[in-house]
Structure 1
């Protein structure tokens, strides 16, 4: 199969990875030992959490909108038709996964649970190993030198 038809992933893993991380953090909070976050004000953590969630969802929406406008695959199960380097992709090569990671952290702030920090880190590392690596290989095969130049000027995360 050539690079123009090859798909980077067989299944849409990222929602499962991040959903699993949230589930693990909730289970750890309830079943292992609670790790409460403290704050000088009882409303500070939820406000910060909702603000971070708003940022995360906005980043995801902006990234999906940019991909749709450029008529390329949104899910990693589709073949990329165009190399997208505008919109949020100017700042990070993975704005959707960054948004998922920030959303996971925001849930931790809203619920005042420190378990979401290691869960977010674990999810990001798993996504990098299981998803991003495959997507990057696909994009490199598909777009070659243009993708290499993009990687040199744009960081993977932030």
Structure 2
């Protein structure tokens, strides 16, 4: 049985992004990223609480996005839905624009983290509160950018499954990642993070 264009785009996008993520993890490991953990047992009194000095997210956020993207591909293969009623070139262009905007936001956020000298992965301690640059507009540019990349692939593929899954995907990100990160940052940075949280929206 022939594989549909929609499944090919979703599967191809998942594989490419997984490779990019794997390369990034490998580079970080080679550079000794794990050395950023301040104590050998991975604990530091965040705000004097004695709690682990990490956010305790349910999984690495890129893997969550990739998991939902892969799920959309599987659903399209098993229970295919009609594709978006838009000509392919228009879908490709719209998807490319969304993905490009997403990558741009991600790179801007990464630049601010590197400038502040703090860790990007939520599995490592946050050593500085970043509130400038893109962080003046959104508290979570990494997740906003990754959502746009995900939507870009979904639109390019014309996949109603990928677009529909954005609802449970964002629920998982909000509850399993962002809420835990916010609790951690409140514990660690106190009033400074509270003031930032009050003036900048979670998403846009």
TM-score, normalising length from structure 1?
0.93
SS at match of 2:189: helix
Q: How many residues align?
A: 157
Residues in 1 aligned to 2:59 and 2:116: alpha-carbon distance in whole angstroms: 20
Q: How does 1:1-158 map to 2 (within 5 A)?
A: 1-3=44-46, 6-9=53-56, 12-39=59-86, 41-158=87-204
- Residues 57, 180 of structure 2: 8 Å contact kept: no
**Does 1 or 2 have the higher relative contact order (CA < 8 Å, sep 6+)?**
1
Residues in 2 aligned to 1:38 and 1:151: alpha-carbon distance in whole angstroms: 40
* 1:39-90 CA-partner distances (Å, limit 9, x unpaired): 1x43111101001100001111110111011111101011111110111111
Rg: which structure is higher?
2
Residues in 1 aligned to 2:59 and 2:81: alpha-carbon distance in whole angstroms: 31
Residues in 2 aligned to 1:121 and 1:63: alpha-carbon distance in whole angstroms: 24
Residues in 1 aligned to 2:119 and 2:88: alpha-carbon distance in whole angstroms: 42
TM-score, normalising length from structure 2?
0.73
Residues in 2 aligned to 1:71 and 1:113: alpha-carbon distance in whole angstroms: 39
- Residues 3, 142 of structure 1: 8 Å contact kept: yes
* Structure 2 unmatched ranges of 5 or more: 1-43
SS at match of 1:115: helix
SS at match of 1:106: helix
Residues in 2 aligned to 1:11 and 1:78: alpha-carbon distance in whole angstroms: 13
CA RMSD of aligned residues (A): 1.5
**1:116 Cα deviation from its structure 2 partner:** 1.3
- Residues 134, 141 of structure 2: 8 Å contact kept: yes
